Amino acid sequence: MTQVATEVETILLINDYGMSVEILNFGARIKSIKFPVNSKETEMTLGYASPEEYLNDEFYLGATCGRVCNRIAGGKFQLDGKQYQLSQNDGENCLHGGDDNFSFRYWQIDRQSFTNNSVTLLLVSPNGDQGFPGTLNLSVTYQLSADNKLSIQYSANTDLTTVINLTNHSYFNLGEKDCQSLQLQMNASAYLESDDSNIPTGKVIAVAETDYSFREPVSVGNRQKNTEDKSLKQKNGYDHCFVLDNTAFEEPKAILTSLKNQVSLSVYTDQSAIQLYTGFYLSGHFNSYQGLCLEAQNYTDADNHNHFPTNILKPNQQYQRNIIFGFASIK
């Protein structure tokens, strides 16, 4: 029987360029991404100083979120004619899988796969866990390449039909004091209209000529400050699901840029959407807007909208999704 970890461990990935990434076994989290700015190792993400502080984290910093990330309306969904009730940890809704979600689990480090630039973490989520059906066997592999790309590969299988939607919840500021002065470009032609509690109405809205258009680079702070959009004003910024264009994986779905530090982050993914969250609710150790999330995932609340891409995983299927965070100097 595999011994379950009970202490936070840190795994360091490095490359010859001077980039380094710290991964935690707790929540299969990204603790730190450092990238050289003017030859100085500079933190690109928001995080706590010590690994132990993540044990009480309420912001999902760098976390692997699931079994189903984002929100499920009323914490309920139907599958094969049966209704499942999940924990309601976000008002009436289920967020990121509920109170005891994958962000708060100790994942097993696969020592056989561990090198100085790659690590795989494993987790078994038993039948009934969080209220979901099926025993799920999961792996998350982080790999740092020589050309400064941090790839995340999710893999899972199940013994019963279930639902799954995994994402990474890192907050990026690219070495700046917050995300407001960052420039964002995103290959998304539409977004999901959502209600006051961030649950989709079911409508998919074109971004053209709206404050949801990031077809060209946009200053995040200027857009948020000057918007007249009702939803953006009510939510104090972005916490919206963007529908990604169906372009080749090799084309970045989003590019975040710090003109001050002359650094860019390109997000590559085979996921169908990105949840853009600009961090208004950060507090305590942190300040509002101190980092933003580009959470590559499936559509929010897909389990309750038949016309959205499905989260369903069957026993004869393999769940595989990929995210790459690529860093570059733009001088």
- Residues designated as active site: 169, 295
Measured at the CA of 204, the angle between CA 305 and CA 98, to 5 degrees, comes to 45
In sequence order, the β-bridge partners of residue 252 are none
Give dist(CA 108, CA 68) in Å, integer.
Answer: 20
SS3 of the chain: the string is CCCCCCCCCEEEEECCCCCEEEEECECCEEEEEEEEECCEEEECECCCCCHHHHHHCCCCCCCEECCECCEEHHHEEEECCEEEECCCCECCEEECCCCCCHHHCECEECHHHCECCEEEEEEEECCCHHHCCCCEEEEEEEEECCCCEEEEEEEEEECCCEECECEECCEECCCCCCCCCCEEEECEEEEEEECCCCCEEEEEEECCCCCCCCCCCEEHHHHHHHCCCHHHHHCCCCEEEEEECCCCCCCCCEEEEECCCCEEEEEEECCCEEEEECCCCCCCCCCCCCCEEEEEECCCCHHHCCCCCCCEECCCCCEEEEEEEEEEECC
Are 198 and 71 spatial neighbours (Cβ–Cβ below 8 Å)? yes
Give dist(CA 286, CA 9) in Å, integer.
Answer: 23
Nearest to residue 171, comparing CAs of 62, 270, 262, 325? 62
Are 307 and 321 spatial neighbours (Cβ–Cβ below 8 Å)? no
